[in-house]
Amino acid sequence: MDLFTPAAFGDLQLANRVVMAPLTRLRSSESGVPGPLVVEYYAQRAGFGLIVSEGVWPVQEGKAYPGQPGIETDEQVEAWQLVTAAVHARGGQIVLQLMHGGRVSHTEITGTDRIVGPSAVAIDGEAHTPVGKKAFPVPHALSTDELSEVRDQLVLAARNAIRAGFDGVEVHSANGYLLHEFLSPVSNARDDQYGGSPENRARFVIEVTKAIREAIGAGRTGIRISPAHNIQGIAEVDEADVHATYGVLMDALEPLGLAYVSILRADLDSELVRDLHERFGGAYIVNSGFSEITTRDEAIHLVEATHADAVAIGRLAIANPDLVERWESEAEVNEPNPATFYGAGAEGYTDYPVLESSRA
């Protein structure tokens, strides 16, 4: 598969198969409103086949980091409209990554009375709050009734994303946040129909995805998963259980006709990933995780070796607004600076240089 050819994923029309991965950058206001700098940042990256936004919170209770944007209030929706319009004006496509942080947060960050999770099991570690590092709190275990409320909050947020002009929504079910917490037996110790067996642990993710699809359309709905990505207190260590759980999930998603599944996993060329891909049957976006920066050669190799439809690129998208053009012409790339990944204004955000030929 040639990375530089167009693709259609559901309703999304990609000019190429280099997808900008979701990247939390923490440059929005305290009330979760993205400003002009955020508009500029995404507009600069319109040359990617698809932009997936940073993880965006659906409700205050689901906010995971200071400086993270939301899609709950009208003010946020209106601010995002400027982002999506700027990306569209430059010929790009952008979906919103809908991220409920679940237990990866603190009330000092959310400003709410509680943080929530599948079970009252805290992460062993500390959250970076505006008042310093604090032990992760024990989350309130959502009751069965409360789960429908959370599902409705996510659906409303997905509708807001469409109202804000996004081309679709990526359901964030990876990297240890709320939906991933349901999938993992360590964070999910429930004894109702949402806990225990692989079928039960996959149930909430399936219900949420179906409800969002119902609200905004299958062709505009994608989902990101990271099987056995053991971070933020997640421990999916039993390979057979991982296979069973994500297998149930893929089987349930298969008939829905979703735009895509995006998978983050170190061994993409594995039996597990091949099987999940086959069971889903639709467009697959791959990313091999945080350990090594995904390079041009790696991206080309990954797509070929895994028969994926596209590759998600994280750190090089931070450092290269015109990455697609650079890769296509085999030009040099800028190196990303991790010191400015999070919350440092324009520096390391909108000031990475583009090639002479990309200047408009």
CA atoms within 13 A on the CB side of 157: 31
Closer residue to ligand FMN, CB minimum distance, 97 or 187: 97
- List C-alpha distances in Å: 29 to 32, 55, 104, 162, 176: 5, 15, 20, 21, 24
> What whole-number distance in Å separates Cα of residue 239 and Cα of residue 244?
9
> What whole-number distance in Å separates Cα of residue 247 and Cα of residue 164?
33
Span near ligand FMN by CB under 6 A; candidates 35-43, 252-260, 287-295, 347-355: 287-295
Place of tokens 């919170």: 57
Q: Which of 34, 47, 55, 117 binds ligand FMN (CB under 6 A)?
A: 55
Closer residue to ligand FMN, CB minimum distance, 93 or 320: 320
By CB under 6 A, tell whether 54 contacts ligand FMN: yes
By CB under 6 A, tell whether 58 contacts ligand FMN: no
Crossing angle of helices 296-306 and 271-280, in 10° steps, is 70
**Least Å from the CB of residue 237 to ligand FMN:** 21
By CB under 6 A, tell whether 264 contacts ligand FMN: yes
> What whole-number distance in Å separates Cα of residue 99 and Cα of residue 130?
20
Closer residue to ligand FMN, CB minimum distance, 54 or 309: 54
Q: Which of 10, 19, 22, 285 binds ligand FMN (CB under 6 A)?
A: 22
| 201 token code pair | 């642990």
Span near ligand FMN by CB under 6 A; candidates 19-27, 80-88, 104-112, 181-189: 19-27
Q: What residues from 205 to 234 belong to the interface with ligand FMN (CB under 6 A)?
A: 224
Which residues are tagged catalytic?
Answer: 177
Q: CB neighbours of 203 closer than 8 A, spacing ≥ 6?
A: 182, 193, 194
Count of beta carbons in the 10 Å neighbourhood of residue 135:
12
**Least Å from the CB of residue 353 to ligand FMN:** 19
**Least Å from the CB of residue 106 to ligand FMN:** 18
**Least Å from the CB of residue 296 to ligand FMN:** 11
String marking each residue 134-173 x if it binds ligand FMN according to CB under 6 A: --------------------------------------x-
- Residue 172 in contact with residue 99, Cβ under 8 Å? yes
* Amino acid at site 282: G
Closer residue to ligand FMN, CB minimum distance, 55 or 321: 55
> What whole-number distance in Å separates Cα of residue 326 and Cα of residue 137?
44
By CB under 6 A, tell whether 24 contacts ligand FMN: yes
By CB under 6 A, tell whether 294 contacts ligand FMN: yes
By CB under 6 A, tell whether 287 contacts ligand FMN: yes
| 292 token code pair | 């090594």
Closer residue to ligand FMN, CB minimum distance, 55 or 185: 55
* Amino acid at site 181: E
Span near ligand FMN by CB under 6 A; candidates 8-16, 127-135, 185-193, 290-298: 290-298
By CB under 6 A, tell whether 175 contacts ligand FMN: yes
Q: What residues from 70 to 129 belong to the interface with ligand FMN (CB under 6 A)?
A: 97
SS3 sequence of 38-90: HHHHHHHCCCCCEEEEEEEECCHHHCCCCCCCECCCHHHHHHHHHHHHHHHHC
> What whole-number distance in Å separates Cα of residue 255 and Cα of residue 235?
29
**# chain residues binding ligand FMN, by CB under 6 A:** 22
Q: Which of 37, 40, 90, 341 binds ligand FMN (CB under 6 A)?
A: 341
Give helix then strand counts, H and E, for the chain. Answer: 11, 14
Footprint on this chain of ligand FMN (rule: CB under 6 A): 21-24, 54-55, 97, 172, 174-175, 224, 264, 287, 289-290, 293-294, 313-316, 341
